[in-house]
Chain A
Amino acid sequence: AQSVAQPEDQVNVAEGNPLTVKCTYSVSGNPYLFWYVQYPNRGLQFLLKYITGDNLVKGSYGFEAEFNKSQTSFHLKKPSALVSDSALYFCAVRAAYSGAGSYQLTFGKGTKLSVIP
């Protein structure tokens, strides 16, 4: 079975400061990893994904994530936070094989990011 842990329910950061939202995962074999963001009363918006290759993945709106296989982590980062980044962030994992069970995303519980002006 695959699982995702987001150890922080909430992260507060001052505008202009760097932000990190943590994610660790568990999956059989190689992982496909994703970050999504959800604004109030909206669906999930795709930010970035890791499939293979470079451990540092760049995504939308200045976000990036670092894949660390030994620590089974995929932390989301941004060098300078904006107030408009305040939202709910979800990390998700999918197994890297074809066949039944591989087509679903397993999500973490989410981390609420608050950027303070």
Chain B
Amino acid sequence: KAGVTQTPRYLIKTRGQQVTLSCSPISGHRSVSWYQQTPGQGLQFLFEYFSETQRNKGNFPGRFSGRQFSNSRSEMNVSTLELGDSALYLCASSLETSGSLDTQYFGPGTRLTVL
């Protein structure tokens, strides 16, 4: 079974631009979560989607948004980029069937550099 895939793997943008990152979950997984990883703040939760609905959101400004499509693929968007948005953005997927706890499996990440 193919793992979680993220595109693009690397991205360079300038301040003020916007960016869209894409995540394809493991086949059959319905939950997709996004995390930001930086040397200073570590791994921080951005948001989680299940069946096209955002169920959980972390403590990030409104410039960070996401969505999930009917095939469970997800995108996250960052508008008006700031230097501090430079980070590794990780996507994770899990089954999240009713009443069960499923492991989150992570993709390789998208390395975003803001100049």
Contact = CB atoms under 8 A, between A and B. Distances in A.
Interface string B55-72: 110100000000000000
Contacts of B55: 100, 103
Q: From DSSP, what is the main secondary structure of chain B's interface residues? A: strand
B42 A101 contact: no
B33 A46 contact: no
A107 B108 CA distance: 17
Interface residues of A, number: 25
Nearest to B46: A104
A104 B45 CA distance: 7
Interface of A: 32, 34, 36, 42-46, 49, 51, 90, 94, 96, 98, 100-110
28 contacts: A32-B101, A34-B103, A34-B104, A43-B4, A43-B106, A44-B90, A44-B92, A46-B104, A46-B106, A51-B101, A94-B101, A98-B99, A100-B56, A103-B31, A103-B48, A103-B50, A103-B55, A103-B56, A104-B45, A104-B56, A105-B35, A105-B92, A105-B104, A106-B45, A107-B35, A107-B42, A107-B43, A110-B43
